């Protein structure tokens, strides 16, 4: 019996190794920015293509929410998915795709509901201690969505599905990925479509005049995402890749259904939401130990927002009705130089530049422009002290210069200039990494990071609800962390504790003047807590795991100001059963404690627990059917007070995969 078990475990280990090799071959390595490989593969910080497929998230926000210390929320007023990492939002822990920043120039956010995951090979979340080569504004770390590249002569993946609720069929989806990899070149194309007519509300929701049935009004969206990529590898160590990517979408914004009298019910729709760009990655082996990497981008973001009179969404006659257009442009890139094995040191130097131009206007009004230029220079050193011990240190200088900032004068339909500034900041960090052997690692780090205030932070009136603050100062933080990880074959677990101290915290302060609020540097804050993740693979048939994250956020200067949208406790557990090679099931339980929805602490989103079940059956060697149930218990839950989330939803998908 013992021999049989030993053989079974050995076979499982070989299968895992083969799967890991296959997964690694699909990762677009030029899109990664790493300090150490061990940090970037921790279950606390990354998920791969296999895990994405097993949990079947709809978009990047849901995929990121699988990681401990990562919280998904919703900007109810704009129907955008938000992500917080250890309390930091997307302005403080920005999103990158293949190492290039992805954000809206005006506010620094990106709607992660719009980014689908079918083309991703890996998602990495570096917390606190982050490569300085990412550039500016990585106050709390960085999120990097790494695309896939083909690893076979011919690859074809196609998927089609629909969602069904108690109110009928409510959504459709489809995707196709095709690629080829040859000796000196590769090419790939991805097209993904999502169409939602509505999402259903749980039956425990009490209908009333604003929402008269269980079909969430104005919750429809259409989302088309495409990517074309071609790469050339003239010799070993060199690679040049050109990509064209875009998202074309439209969406509704469900109205507020809560009790806060200071939140105005808004009848909004985005008939256009588009992001298109061209991207270039290169790697050139200058000498045996000297590597030059570059990344360049030029893209644009356009949207049209229409505010209507009422729930008919047909007229725009009231004074709060308008049609607003954004026409934003970004361009820039970075140059990194890697020098390996210099007297037990690896040196990395990088320079980054990005130009942001925000153009906005309401229909019939003079456009206003805001322009910023952000630059950075960084140097990192990895000192391999001995076989098991390395010291990593880095220093970087960041600069943001305001080039133009228009303030609109409605009475004369003209613009004048806001006050503009030139902010500078330094990033410093050091970390010690110790390999204990037997796939066990221990590391401790301290990092000083900063974030420049965004255009919207400084200049927005928030549709008459806020007061601009052009004098906002740069936030800075000291992030400290101790992490232990044990990555044995059958049992893997990681534990991390952190204490982050933030100064010049930029935070919303309500009722600054009458019912108006303002973003202010509210003083000093701390974010502290811990995370643990564990996974146990008993054999090739059964595995289970989970994660827990605790976060304590406090404004030390003014404890009455609360941090919003983030629970103190998050617990996720899962069990996965592979009945045989054709049939697999996964059950997931997610608990989140209550969270504040207003900074004065008056309104909260209550705690909740949701259960999701995913199953797949291999009909043929290349054909699978997937059956998923989201929110199995039909729980009425909120990520933001006044905006209920979807009730029980069934999903059926067919997927086809061909590799030759």
CATH number at residue 379: 2.40.170.20
**Token digits of residue 544:** 């289970």
Instruction: Provide the pLDDT for residue 37.
Output: 56
- Total residues found in the chain within this entry: 660
pTM: 0.93
At residue 6, φ and ψ (nearest 5 deg) are -60, -45
If you average pLDDT over residues 138-164, what whole number do you get? 95
What angle (nearest 5°) sits at the alpha carbon of residue 453, between those of residues 140 and 398?
Answer: 70
pLDDT in tens, 569-578: 999 999 999 8
- Nearest in space to 433 (alpha carbons), one of 498, 396, 386: 386
Distance CA(534)–CA(525), nearest Å, equals: 30
Q: Do the beta carbons of residue 399 and residue 374 sit within 8 Å?
A: yes
What angle (nearest 5°) sits at the alpha carbon of residue 279, between those of residues 276 and 283?
Answer: 165
Mean pLDDT lowest among 17-26, 320-329, 407-416, 619-628: 17-26
Instruction: Provide the pLDDT for residue 18.
Output: 42
**Bigger pLDDT: 64 or 9?**
64
Instruction: Provide the pLDDT for residue 16.
Output: 40
Q: Do the beta carbons of residue 586 and residue 54 sit within 8 Å?
A: yes
- Nearest in space to 614 (alpha carbons), one of 601, 636, 598, 630: 630
**Token digits of residue 554:** 């406090």
User: For tokens 């052009």, what's the residue?
Assistant: 470
pLDDT more than 90, % of the chain: 80
Residue 17 has pLDDT above 60, yes or no: no
pLDDT in tens, 33-83: 987 655 555 667 889 988 898 899 999 999 999 999 999 998 878 899 999
Residue 184 has pLDDT above 50, yes or no: yes
Chain centre to alpha carbon of residue 449: 19
At residue 17, φ and ψ (nearest 5 deg) are -65, -45
CB atoms near residue 78 (< 10 Å): 16
What does the DSSP assignment read for 534-562?
Answer: EEEE-SSSEEEEEEEEEEEEEESS-TTSP
At residue 394, φ and ψ (nearest 5 deg) are -160, 155
Q: Do the beta carbons of residue 449 and residue 479 sit within 8 Å?
A: yes
Mean pLDDT lowest among 21-25, 56-60, 416-420: 21-25
CB atoms near residue 253 (< 10 Å): 22
pLDDT in tens, 619-642: 999 999 999 999 999 999 999 999
Q: Do the beta carbons of residue 605 and residue 640 sit within 8 Å?
A: yes
Residue 88 has pLDDT above 50, yes or no: yes
Instruction: Provide the pLDDT for residue 547.
Output: 95
Distance CA(68)–CA(83), nearest Å, equals: 12
Residue 11 has pLDDT above 50, yes or no: no
Distance CA(262)–CA(642), nearest Å, equals: 12
Extended strands (E) in 385-439: 389-409, 414-417, 422-437
User: For tokens 């200088």, what's the residue?
Assistant: 397
Distance CA(578)–CA(592), nearest Å, equals: 28
Helix (H) or strand (E) holding 13, with range, is helix 2-26
Question: What is residue 248's three-state secondary structure?
Answer: strand
Distance CA(435)–CA(47), nearest Å, equals: 22
Q: Whole domain around residue 615: which residue ranges? A: 2-659
Residue 209: partners with Cβ closer than 8 Å, 6 or more residues away: none
Residue 421 has pLDDT above 50, yes or no: yes
**Bigger pLDDT: 191 or 119?**
191
Q: Do the beta carbons of residue 61 and residue 112 sit within 8 Å?
A: yes
If you average pLDDT over residues 175-179, what whole number do you get? 97
Give me the number of domains the chain comprises: 1
> What is the pLDDT of the chain when averaged over all its residues?
91
If you average pLDDT over residues 455-477, what whole number do you get? 91
Instruction: Provide the pLDDT for residue 284.
Output: 97
pLDDT in tens, 126-150: 998 999 999 999 999 999 999 999 9
């Amino acid at each position: 019996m013992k021999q049989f078990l030993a053989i079974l475990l050995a076979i499982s280990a070989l299968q895992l190794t083969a799967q890991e090799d296959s997964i690694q071959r699909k990762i677009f390595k030029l899109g990664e920015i790493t300090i150490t490989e061990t940090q970037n593969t921790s279950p606390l910080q990354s998920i791969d293509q296999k895990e994405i497929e097993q949990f079947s998230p709809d978009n990047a926000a849901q995929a990121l929410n699988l990681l401990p210390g990562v919280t998904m929320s919703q900007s109810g007023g704009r129907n955008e998915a938000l992500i917080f990492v250890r309390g930091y939002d997307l302005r403080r822990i920005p999103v990158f795709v293949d190492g290039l920043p992805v954000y809206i120039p005006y506010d620094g956010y990106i709607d992660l509901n719009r980014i689908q995951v079918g083309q991703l090979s890996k998602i990495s979340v570096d917390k606190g201690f982050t490569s300085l080569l990412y550039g500016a504004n990585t106050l709390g770390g960085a999120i990097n969505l790494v695309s896939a590249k083909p690893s076979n002569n011919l690859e074809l993946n196609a998927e089609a599905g629909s969602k069904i609720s108690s109110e009928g069929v409510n959504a459709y989806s489809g995707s196709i990925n095709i690629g080829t990899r040859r000796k000196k070149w590769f090419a790939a194309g991805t097209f993904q479509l999502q169409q939602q007519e509505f999402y259903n509300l749980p039956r425990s929701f009490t209908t009333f005049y604003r929402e008269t049935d269980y079909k969430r009004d104005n919750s429809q969206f259409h989302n088309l995402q495409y990517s074309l990529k071609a790469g050339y590898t003239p010799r070993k160590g060199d690679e040049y890749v050109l990509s064209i990517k875009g998202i074309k979408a439209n969406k509704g914004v469900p109205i507020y259904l809560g009790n806060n009298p200071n939140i105005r019910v808004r009848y909004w729709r985005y008939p256009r939401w588009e992001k298109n760009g061209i991207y270039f990655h290169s790697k050139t082996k200058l000498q045996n130990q000297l590597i030059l990497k570059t990344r360049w981008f030029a893209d644009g973001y356009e949207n049209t927002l229409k505010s209507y009179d009422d729930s008919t969404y047909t007229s725009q006659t009231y004074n709060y009705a308008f049609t607003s257009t954004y026409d934003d442009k970004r361009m820039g890139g970075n140059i990194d130089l890697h020098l390996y094995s210099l007297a037990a040191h690896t040196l990395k130097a990088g320079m980054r530049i990005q130009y942001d131009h925000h153009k906005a206007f309401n229909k019939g009004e003079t456009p206003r422009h805001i322009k910023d230029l952000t630059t950075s220079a960084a140097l990192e050193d990895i000192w391999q002290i001995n076989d098991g011990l390395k010291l990593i240190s880095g220093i970087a200088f960041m600069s943001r210069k305001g080039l133009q900032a228009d303030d609109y004068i409605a009475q004369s339909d003209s613009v004048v200039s806001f006050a503009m500034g030139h902010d500078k900041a330094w990033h410093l960090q050091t970390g010690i990494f110790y390999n204990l052997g037997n796939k066990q690692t221990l590391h401790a780090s301290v990092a000083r990071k900063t974030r420049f205030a965004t255009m919207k932070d400084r200049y927005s009136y928030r549709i008459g609800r806020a007061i601009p603050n052009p004098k906002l100062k740069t936030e800075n933080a000291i992030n400290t962390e101790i992490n232990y990880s044990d990555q044995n074959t059958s049992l893997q677990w990681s534990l991390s504790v952190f204490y982050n101290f933030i100064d010049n915290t930029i935070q919303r302060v309500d009722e600054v003047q009458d019912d108006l609020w303002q973003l202010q540097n509210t003083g000093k804050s701390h974010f502290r807590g811990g995370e643990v993740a564990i996974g146990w693979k008993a054999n090739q048939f059964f595995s289970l795991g989970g994660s827990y994250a605790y976060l304590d956020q406090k404004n030390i200067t003014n404890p009455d100001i609360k941090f919003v949208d983030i629970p103190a406790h998050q617990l996720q557990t899962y069990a996965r059963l592979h009945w045989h090679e054709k049939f697999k099931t996964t059950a997931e339980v997610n608990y989140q404690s209550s969270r504040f929805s207003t900074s004065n602490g008056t309104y909260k989103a209550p705690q909740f627990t949701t259960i999701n079940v995913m199953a797949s059956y291999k009909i043929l060697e290349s054909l699978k059917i997937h059956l998923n149930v989201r929110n199995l218990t039909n729980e009425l839950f909120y990520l933001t007070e006044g905006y209920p989330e979807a009730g029980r939803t069934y999903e059926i998908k067919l997927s086809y995969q061909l590799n030759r």
